[in-house]
A and B are shown apart, each in its own frame.
Chain A
Amino acid sequence: MIEAINRAHAWEMAHDPTVVVLGEDVGVNGGVFRATAGLQKKFGKDRVQDTPLAEGMIAGMSLGMASQGLRPVAEIQFMGFIYPAMDQIANHMARMRHRTRGRITVPVVVRMPHGGGIHAPEHHSESLEAMLAHHPGIRVVCPSSPARAYGLLLASIRDPDPVIFLEPVRLYRLVRQEVADDGQALPLDVCFRLREGSDVTIVTWGAMTFEVLRAAEQLQKDGVSCEVIDLATLSPIDHDTILESVAKTGRLVIVHEAPRNCGVGAEIAATVAEQGLYDLQAPIKRVTGYDTIMPLFRLEYDYIPSVARIVDAVRDTLAE
């Protein structure tokens, strides 16, 4: 996946001279995860800039560049470091189109790793998508495979409005997939159906697709047919696809790594309760991280929903 992200950067930089990359260690070092490896050598120091350790500045500078005609792609090294940048993102980036009555749009992409699973220290394993999705004016995107990382990153860079691009960190080097480096973008604001099924709909995103697809395979052996939907764009949510799937299966399980309280899963559950209630044959289930601080590595995989927890939740809804 990390290679697909790197190639999407390279393709777009080669085809659009206004695309610039900035962030901590993105240039000489190529990024802590090597997402931008080789880009500075290829496109020069003006287009791939190492910045100080100042997330507020990275977001502010990106906003300034974008308002003046560039297409910056900024990297926040870890999602736990986003808080200093939130002022620029929420108070300015998200509002610029609204504030200027549409005269200025800011085509910024702010990329960052999302979630845990790599035995990292504190602040390095957060899943803060709900905080971002709560802000009107920014799009939140989270791919779950190399192909979608490539296609959705291209679409995000080309989009005229700010996109927060969440990269599932434990999939960076875990998932390999042939991806054509052809500059083809994938559509934003729609879900992707990864598995067709008839008994239950499972909605998830990011790294959790890994466990969900395994759970679906396991359940298939017992004759349970799961429809797996990758949300992909977390804000705005493609409710139509989810509602149509629930109308078909009558059951919904939502799986996310982030804490349960006020998570994106709650928004999906609420919308299905509002608009799809009469199709439901069982209560909606959520399988999520816990409402605690993301633990350090020893308990990391007790926190992240396991295949077993997902299978149990599906069985519970089917038992209704």
Chain B
Amino acid sequence: MTTFNLPDLGEGLAEAEIVRWHVKVGDTVKVDQPMVAVETAKAVVEVPSPYSGVITKLNGNPGDVVATGAPLVEFELQGAGTPAKAAKAAKAPERESPAAAKKADPRAADDSGTVVGSMPTSDDELVETAVAGSDIASPRERVRAAPAVRALAKRLGVDLASVRGTGRGGLITVDDVMTTSGPTSTHTAATVTALKAPAAPRSVPAGTPPSGEAEKLRGLRRAMHQSMSLARDNVMNCTLFDDADLHAWRKGEDFTTRLLRAIGAAATAVPALNAWYDGDNQSRRLMQRVDVAMAVDTPEGLLVPVVRDVAKRSAAELRADVDRLKRGARDRTVAPEDLRDFTFMLSNFGMIAGRYATPVVVPPAVAILGAGKLSHDVVAVMGGIEAHLRMPLSLTFDHRCVTGGEAARFLAALIQDLERAS
């Protein structure tokens, strides 16, 4: 009997939910035949069979959440000698082993070097510099503190290197950290505690109790919970509002591709907003290509497929990509690689309603643009008043690494490109 474990579906996700089985116990399946559809936090993925054989057991029913690496299907293989192919098809996580490094060894022909098992061999020459004993370079500026003190310092945002230890042998104590943290510490600590404490139940006036059943967040909605929590805990969101006057546009201009193009132009003018920011290491990476994640609203939740290289590609190319991704997002077939590695985000909420918003930046990106509902506004122009079509814009940036000036210049460049006739 051979067990097939749920493989990592290429997204580094820890689990997936079974949507439906295409096979049942007793079925004979061939390599690559689709067995089951599973829903990850990002997409519905078909899992093909890595083996040819008879299915003896299915682990889990539709709706069950299966951890990556957990047993999914058990097989009775047809004949022996299929595992080699199986290993390839199953996309088992790579592992390096000496056996894998085994190479033809001329001596192995007449003497395998063992009477049991098989000896892994290699022609690789080992080059090493082994230093015996405690010849360790002297420690850098050494901070000595108990783990609980380190945890406290981390929570209060105190850099231990800047704390003078008053304990035995310069050991940093709880009091040292509190003193360094200063008067705001109580407030910070209280905030931290408050964040961790369960929300207090709201008081409900006497009368009919509210109805509705608690439902566990799943799939996209749970992924949204995670990314928004991460953003809330880390990002310093700051939003700038303005309008683009589209009076010069001809009939039939494509809003989405114009927005993508304008983002490309603005990112070229002010690269600081097309970046990844690693707050833990205070390290900022300006990205060369502008890859825009577009929020797509689906009944299950929010999906953000990525349109690549918007600064360099034509309107027609962008439109084709947008159509493909939207379709993929709606029927949940969008590939995992189309959901990753964006450098900027766009939310087109104005297609539904809303003029301005405070969109939330999702790390590691540092900015997001919200496009609001178009309307004909009364505009004062030289010599009178006119009605112009205008697009409300909301640009949120991560103020930890982007300055207000950069954001404003970015928005100005964006509006300038957007206001062009074509």
Residues of A whose CB lies within 8 Å of any CB of B are: 2, 32-34, 78, 117-121, 124, 145-148, 170-178, 186-187, 190-194, 196, 198, 207, 210-211, 214, 230, 238, 240-241, 244-245, 247-248, 277-281, 283, 297, 301, 304, 306-308
Contacts and interface: CB of A to CB of B under 8 A. Distances in A.
Contacts of A78: 116
A306 B98 CA distance: 11
B123 A176 contact: yes
Contacts of A241: 133-134, 136
A38 B115 CA distance: 17
Q: Max chain B CB contacts within 10 Å: which of A173, A191, A240, A308?
A: A173
Given A145-B126, A187-B132, A190-B133, A173 B105 contact: yes
Contacts of B111: 34
Contacts of B98: 117, 170-171, 174, 207, 210
A308 B171 CA distance: 36
Interface string B111-150: 1011111111111111111111111111110101111001
B120 A174 contact: yes
Interface-central residue, B98, B111, B113, B134, by most chain A CB under 10 Å? B98
Contact of A148 (B99, B119, B130): B130
30 contacts: A32-B114, A32-B115, A32-B116, A117-B120, A118-B119, A119-B99, A120-B117, A121-B117, A124-B116, A145-B130, A172-B119, A173-B122, A174-B98, A176-B123, A192-B130, A193-B130, A193-B131, A193-B136, A194-B128, A194-B129, A194-B130, A241-B133, A245-B136, A248-B138, A248-B139, A277-B146, A278-B171, A280-B147, A297-B117, A308-B95
B116 A120 contact: yes
A117 B131 contact: no
Given A247-B139, A277-B146, 19 more contacts: A78-B116, A117-B98, A145-B130, A170-B99, A174-B121, A186-B132, A187-B133, A191-B132, A193-B130, A193-B131, A238-B134, A241-B133, A248-B138, A278-B145, A279-B139, A301-B95, A306-B97, A308-B93, A308-B94
B97 A301 contact: yes
Given A297-B117, A301-B97, A279 B144 contact: yes
Contacts of B96: 211, 214, 306-307
A177 B138 CA distance: 31
State the 7 A-B residue pairs at the shortest beta-carbon distance, nearest first.
Answer: A120-B117, A118-B117, A278-B144, A177-B126, A190-B133, A241-B134, A244-B136
Nearest to B107: A173
Do most interface residues of chain B lie in helix, strand or loop, or is the interface mixed?
loop
B328 to A, nearest CB: 30
A117 B101 CA distance: 12
A33 B144 contact: no
A39 to B, nearest CB: 16
A190 B131 CA distance: 10
A297 B99 CA distance: 11
Contact of A145 (B94, B116, B128): B128
A281 B95 contact: no
A217 to B, nearest CB: 11
Contacts of A192: 130-132
Contacts of A121: 116-117
Contact of B101 (A120, A145, A174, A278): A174
A172 B118 CA distance: 11
Contact of B125 (A177, A194, A283): A177
Given A118-B119, A118-B120, A174-B120, A190 B134 contact: yes
A174 B122 contact: yes
Nearest to A171: B98
B119 A193 contact: no
Interface of B: 93-99, 101, 105, 111, 113-140, 142, 144-147, 150, 171
Contact of A240 (B101, B120, B134, B140): B134
A33 B113 contact: yes
Contacts of B105: 173
Contacts of A279: 139, 142, 144
Contacts of A194: 128-130
A173 B119 contact: yes
Contacts of B117: 118-121, 124, 297
Contacts of B129: 194
Contact of B139 (A178, A244, A280): A244
B133 A33 contact: no
A297 B120 CA distance: 13
A120 B134 CA distance: 37
A286 to B, nearest CB: 17
B120 A278 contact: no
Contacts of A117: 97-99, 120
Nearest to B95: A306
B113 A190 contact: no
A248 B146 contact: no
Contacts of B125: 176-178
A165 B52 CA distance: 46
Contacts of A245: 136
Contacts of A120: 114, 116-117
B134 A176 contact: no
A281 B118 contact: no
| Residue from A33, A238, A304 with most neighbouring chain B CB atoms (10 Å) | A33
A149 B414 CA distance: 67
B113 A119 contact: no
Nearest to A218: B96
Contacts of A301: 95, 97, 99
Nearest to B129: A194
B119 A304 contact: no
A304 B120 CA distance: 15
A104 to B, nearest CB: 30
Contacts of A247: 139, 142
B150 A281 contact: yes
A247 B143 CA distance: 9
A120 B101 CA distance: 17
Contacts of A124: 116-117
Contact of B126 (A34, A176, A244, A277): A176
A78 B114 CA distance: 11
B146 A146 contact: no
A248 B137 contact: yes
A177 B126 CA distance: 5
A32 B115 CA distance: 6
Contacts of A170: 98-99, 119-120
A146 B145 CA distance: 41
B132 A304 contact: no
Contacts of B94: 308
A89 to B, nearest CB: 23
